[in-house]
A = this chain, B = another copy of it.
C-alpha cells in the first residue's frame, strides 16, 4: 500500500485510460477491460482511486453524478448544456498560466485541476427562447 510503484491492475487501468479519447466512467472502463482481461469491478474502482491520489488520473462528475476518469495528460475541458446535457470540448486548457502562478504563491502541490463551464448550447437556447415567447402571447 505504501509502495511507490503501480500494481498490475493499476497499470492496466492507466494504460486503458490513456488509449481513450474521451473520459470514461468506472463502469464503462470495467466493461471495456473485461473484453481483454480478467479484472473485478472493485479493482477498477480501487485502481482509479490510487491513480487519482498519485496524480496520474483526473476525474470530473457528470450532471447525473457519475464520475468520469481520464489520464492527466489529457488536459481537456468542456462546456456542458444544462438543458440537453451535451458536452462541448474547449479548444485548449486556459489554465496553464494560472496554475503555474498558483503553484508559486502557495504551499499546496497541484497535481491537476478540473474546469467546466455550464449553460445553454445554441439549439437549446433558441428552443427555450421560443417557448418563453409562445407563453407570453
Chain A contacts to B: CB under 8 angstroms: 2-4, 52-53, 55, 58, 60-61, 65, 67, 79, 81-83, 88, 90, 94-95, 98-99, 102, 106-122, 125, 131-132, 135
Cross-chain contact B118 with A112 (CB below 8 angstroms): yes
Cross-chain contact B99 with A110 (CB below 8 angstroms): no
Which listed residue, B65, B95, B109, touches A67 by the CB 8 Å rule? B65
- Given A55-B82, A82-B55, CB of A113 within 8 Å of CB of B116: yes
Cross-chain contact A132 with B4 (CB below 8 angstroms): yes
Copies in the complex: 2
Q: Sort A-B residue pairs by CB-CB distance and give the 6 closest, nearest first.
A: A61-B61, A107-B122, A111-B119, A110-B119, A109-B120, A53-B82
Name the CB-closest residue of B to A53: B82
Task: A40 to B80: give the CA distance in the assembly, Å.
Answer: 29
- Quick one: which of A90, A99, A106 has the most chain B CB within 10 A? A106
Cross-chain contact A135 with B82 (CB below 8 angstroms): no
Cross-chain contact B65 with A82 (CB below 8 angstroms): no
Which listed residue, B79, B94, B102, B106, touches A98 by the CB 8 Å rule? B94
